[in-house]
């Protein structure tokens, strides 16, 4: 775990860090070949469960999917989101983070900043629990989606928050939906890597929700580049299968088990 964490930190100002989300072994196995970090995100609330926000994903949900993802991971750093409400105070945060790591065998947890919970990061790190920070648009704490840090004053305020997260001991930090002026300032001033999502190419790495970039989720904001349209490919396959079943073209003798 320590070596994997250090490998991520060492990439700062040297090579871009590649991150994607996964919720199952099959996807994780593919991502592991190319990604530096695989995140089991609470975005599964929207992607897999059709919920309007991430607030109702439970520890049980996160742990179950993380166990599956872990089976597909060999080299990547596996980070698991701590769901909303699982780190309201130091004692609860420690208990839940330890349970996540013990059961899933992940390398680190991620917690979103509310500009107040820096002490929680500090105590988790003191307990040998690596933490990835998260600022900007933090879905667990903010209802309205908007670009953050689009003035010098606002960018400096975000920088202050990021520096406190770094001081607390986080090994890297996600910058979500930050204006370029803010992501550039923060990435330049921090000693730990920044991972951007909708926050320009000034960050030390990038992360996207895999289902978004593969064209499966139906969620395509400006910051998401769709690298494939798997929804169309899947629909085409299902349509062909349906037709062959109805026309009795499948299964043919080739697929009979007694020959």
Q: Which residues are catalytic?
A: 176
Strands 194-197 and 77-81: unpaired
Distance CA 162, CA 187 (A): 10
Maximum Cα–Cα distance across the chain: 74
Which three-class secondary structure state does DSSP give residue 136? strand
Please, are residues 115 and 93 in contact by the beta-carbon 8 Å criterion?
no
* Among the listed residues 91, 90, 79, 153, the one whose alpha carbon sits nearest the alpha carbon of residue 116: 90
In 3-state terms, what secondary structure has residue 240? helix
CB atoms within 10 A of CB 20: 25
């Amino acid at each position: 775990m320590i070596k994997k964490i250090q490998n991520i930190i060492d990439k700062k100002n040297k090579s871009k860090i590649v991150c994607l989300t996964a919720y199952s072994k099959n996807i994780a196995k593919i991502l592991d070949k190319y990604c530096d970090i695989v995140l089991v995100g609470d975005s599964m609330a929207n992607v897999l469960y059709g919920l309007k926000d991430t607030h109702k994903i439970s520890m049980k949900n996160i742990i179950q999917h993380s166990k599956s993802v872990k089976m597909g991971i060999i080299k990547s750093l596996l980070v698991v989101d701590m769901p909303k409400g699982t780190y309201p105070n130091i004692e609860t945060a420690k208990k839940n983070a330890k349970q996540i790591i013990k059961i899933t065998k992940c390398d680190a947890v991620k917690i979103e900043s509310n500009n107040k919970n820096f002490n929680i990061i500090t105590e988790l790190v003191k307990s040998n629990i690596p933490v990835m920070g998260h600022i900007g648009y933090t879905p667990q704490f903010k209802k309205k989606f908007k670009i953050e840090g689009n003035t010098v004053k606002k960018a400096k305020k975000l920088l202050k928050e990021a520096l406190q997260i770094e001081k607390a001991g986080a090994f890297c930090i996600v910058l979500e939906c930050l204006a370029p002026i803010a992501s550039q300032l923060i990435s330049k001033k921090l000693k730990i890597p920044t991972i951007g999502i909708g926050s320009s190419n000034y960050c030390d790495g990038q992360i996207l929700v895999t289902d978004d970039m593969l064209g499966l989720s139906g969620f395509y904001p400006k910051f998401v580049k769709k690298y494939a349209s798997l929804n169309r490919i899947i629909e085409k396959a299902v349509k062909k299968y349906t037709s062959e079943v109805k026309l009795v073209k499948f299964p043919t003798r080739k697929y009979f088990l007694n020959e």
